[in-house]
């Protein structure tokens, strides 16, 4: 070994060469590399899947659980509630939820959140699955609007979510009736929509009911469509008997709205958000199809006893409106009391639905110029109700409409001899009811019968007289009978004398004396 080592011959001071061992890095380093790569990938994926963080405010956290409650849309998980805490002023709870990646698109100002719990509303049961799985937070995504991360949660789930095809309409009603949120909307007794909201108008004058009609039934709603409250049961009695009208059992319980579009003048298709009146019942829709009303004032100088708000206004017997108010006011100029009657006329009844106001005025002026006047007429003799009758009186004194505020004044003509006419008419009617012809016929028939009786009597008398004539057989026989009767009486007298004188003769007979 020593001969192979030349270093032995060298002095000890010679420096030793450094043996550089080129060591390639061990393959074992691949393991941390792979671990780093996989870990990094998983971290990146997890991080990239993390969506935005949002806060939702609810009135109560009932059923919500941090780390478990999910935010779902169509049962697809879109996020998880991470933290629930009370608001600083303790008025509500704040839920912090982590959404999934890609949810940013739906987190707009119009996006609604609500807690999905099992509940019964509008005749429907919803959210049964949450009994076992716990409450979830529902989401109604909206794609338009300003992106936001702060939301106010709804206390009740929205009846209609944004993805449902259909249209909203607004109904104005005097009162909400039995129509609650979630109540069904019927068309020919088929459920085609539901009530979305029901709230008082800010003015407080009416209730604004929002309904949602599902596609394709929303196409059935036109400008002339009439909605009515289908809640409960309609009883009506008529000549045909009693009829009961109801939409469905559900509508009896939770209320409902029905609608119908008239065959003609249905109008164009109604746009989203169109406003309609809500009628009390179906009959009301058929009665009150005229939405436009103009008000007029008429002055009567005579008694308006029997004229009440609601009395009909008729044109030649056709109802065109009604009396809205009857007042009494002092006429300052003439120092007189006068009676203004406010009429509510439905101009659409005249067919001038789409005329501009000016033209309508001209037409009315022309009608008045021709003699159109208002007049009081008795509507019912029995109750004494009056109606306001409009008619054209060709010979009326010239008058014109006074276009003034608040109501234009319509000219009237007094009702001369109205009552007398009416009384006479009724008298004549009653007279007419007497059956003179029949009386005549009966009378002549009676006369004929009487004559026959007289003849009979005559004949009887004649035969009687012939019976009692002196030379008649009867009288002869009578006379002879009388003679014989006389003889018999005389013999009886003789016999009596004989017995008196000799009573034994009764036994022994007359002796030989």
Partner 1 sequence: MTTSPATALAASCATCHDCHLLCRLPGTPGHGVRCPRCGAPLHARKPRSLERTTALVLAAALCYVPANVLPIMTVTSLGKAQSDTIMSGVVYLLLHGMWPLAVVVFTASVFVPVLKILILAFLLISVRRGSSWRPAERTRLYRITEAIGRWSMVDIFVVTILVALVRLGSLATIQAETGAVFFGAVVVLTMLAAEAFDPRLLWDRSAARRT
* Residues at the site binding partner 1, with contacts judged by CB under 8 A: 1, 25-26, 28-29, 31-32, 34-36, 38-39, 42-43, 46, 67-68, 129, 132-134
Least Å distance between CB 132 and partner 1? 4
Rounded to whole angstroms, the Cα distance separating 150 from 54 reads 6
Which CB atom, from 42 or from 275, has the smaller least distance to partner 1? Answer: 42
Least Å distance between CB 16 and partner 1? 16
The first and second tokens of residue 229, run together, are 């409250």
Which CB atom, from 21 or from 433, has the smaller least distance to partner 1? Answer: 21
- Residue 415 neighbours by CB under 8 Å, 6+ apart: 302, 375, 376, 377
Least Å distance between CB 41 and partner 1? 10
Dihedral Cα 184, 186, 190, 196, nearest 10 deg:
-30
Least Å distance between CB 101 and partner 1? 16
Rounded to whole angstroms, the Cα distance separating 196 from 184 reads 10
Which CB atom, from 35 or from 496, has the smaller least distance to partner 1? Answer: 35
Which CB atom, from 53 or from 484, has the smaller least distance to partner 1? Answer: 53
Q: E strand or H helix at 71, and its extent?
A: strand 70-73
Least Å distance between CB 33 and partner 1? 8
Least Å distance between CB 154 and partner 1? 23
Which CB atom, from 69 or from 261, has the smaller least distance to partner 1? Answer: 69
Least Å distance between CB 160 and partner 1? 25
Please tell me the total number of residues recorded for the chain in this structure: 513
Strands (E), 117-239: 119-121, 124-126, 136-140, 150-152, 166-173, 184-187, 190-200, 207-214, 226-229, 234-238
Rounded to whole angstroms, the Cα distance separating 25 from 441 reads 145
Report residue 445 CA to chain centroid gap: 62
Question: Under a CB-based contact definition with an 8 Å cutoff, are residues 243 and 236 in contact?
Answer: yes
Strand partners, 330: 337
**Unique residue bearing structure tokens 């779902």:** 72
Rounded to whole angstroms, the Cα distance separating 442 from 12 reads 179
Which CB atom, from 39 or from 440, has the smaller least distance to partner 1? Answer: 39
Measured between alpha carbons, how far is residue 48 from residues 40, 81, 104, 490 in Å?
12, 18, 13, 167
Which CB atom, from 132 or from 508, has the smaller least distance to partner 1? Answer: 132
Least Å distance between CB 81 and partner 1? 13
Least Å distance between CB 103 and partner 1? 18
Rounded to whole angstroms, the Cα distance separating 154 from 170 reads 21
Which CB atom, from 57 or from 117, has the smaller least distance to partner 1? Answer: 117
**DSSP for residue 397:** P
Rounded to whole angstroms, the Cα distance separating 315 from 312 reads 10
């Amino acid at each position: 070994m020593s001969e192979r080592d030349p270093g032995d011959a060298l002095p000890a001071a010679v420096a030793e060469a450094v043996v550089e061992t080129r060591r390639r890095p061990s393959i074992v380093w691949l393991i941390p590399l792979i671990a780093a790569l996989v870990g990094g990938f998983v971290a990146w994926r997890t991080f990239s899947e993390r969506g935005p963080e949002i806060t939702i405010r609810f009135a109560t956290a009932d059923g919500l659980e941090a780390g478990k409650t999910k935010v779902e849309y169509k049962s697809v998980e879109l996020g998880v509630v991470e933290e629930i805490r009370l608001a600083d002023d303790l008025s509500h709870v704040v839920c912090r939820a982590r959404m999934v990646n890609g949810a940013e698109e739906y987190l707009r100002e119009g996006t609604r959140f609500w807690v999905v719990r099992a509940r019964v509303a509008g005749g429907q049961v919803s959210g049964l699955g949450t009994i076992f799985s716990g409450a979830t937070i529902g989401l109604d995504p909206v794609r338009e609007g300003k992106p936001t991360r702060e939301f106010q949660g709804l206390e009740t789930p929205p009846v209609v979510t944004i993805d449902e095809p259909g249209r909203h309409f607004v109904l104005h009603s005097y009162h909400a009736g039995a129509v609650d949120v979630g109540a069904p909307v019927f068309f020919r007794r088929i459920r085609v929509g539901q009530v979305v909201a029901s709230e008082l108008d800010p003015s407080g004058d009416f209730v604004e009911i929002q309904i949602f009609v599902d596609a394709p039934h929303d196409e059935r709603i036109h400008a002339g469509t009439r909605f009515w409250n289908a809640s409960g049961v309609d009883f009506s009695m008529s000549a045909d008997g009693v009829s009961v009208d109801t939409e469905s059992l559900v509508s009896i319980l939770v209320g409902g709205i029905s609608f119908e579009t008239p065959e003609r003048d249905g109008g164009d298709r109604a746009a989203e958000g169109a406003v309609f009146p809500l009628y009390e019942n179906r009959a009301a829709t058929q009665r009150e199809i005229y939405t436009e009303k103009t008000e007029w004032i008429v002055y009567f100088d005579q008694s308006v006893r029997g004229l009440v708000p609601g009395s009909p206004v008729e044109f030649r017997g056709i109802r065109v409106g009604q009396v809205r108010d009857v007042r009494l006011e002092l006429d300052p100029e003439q120092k007189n009391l006068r009676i203004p009657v406010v009429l509510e006329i439905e101009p659409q009844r005249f067919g001038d639905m789409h005329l501009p106001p000016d033209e309508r005025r001209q037409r009315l002026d022309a009608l008045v110029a021709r003699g159109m006047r208002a007049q009081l007429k008795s509507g019912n003799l029995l109750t004494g109700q009056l109606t306001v009758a409009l008619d054209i009186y060709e010979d009326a004194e010239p008058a014109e409409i006074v276009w003034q505020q608040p109501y234009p004044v319509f000219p009237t003509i007094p009702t001369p001899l109205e009552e007398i006419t009416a009384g006479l008419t009724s008298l004549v009617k009653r007279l007419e009811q007497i059956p003179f012809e029949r009386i005549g016929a009966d009378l002549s028939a009676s006369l004929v019968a009487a004559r026959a009786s007289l003849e009979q009597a005559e004949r009887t008398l004649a035969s009687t007289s012939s019976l009692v004539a002196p030379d008649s057989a009867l009288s002869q026989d009578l006379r002879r009978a009388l003679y014989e009767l006389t003889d018999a009486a005389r013999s009886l007298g003789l016999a009596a004398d004989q017995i008196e004188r000799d009573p034994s003769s009764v036994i022994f007979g007359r002796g030989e004396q």
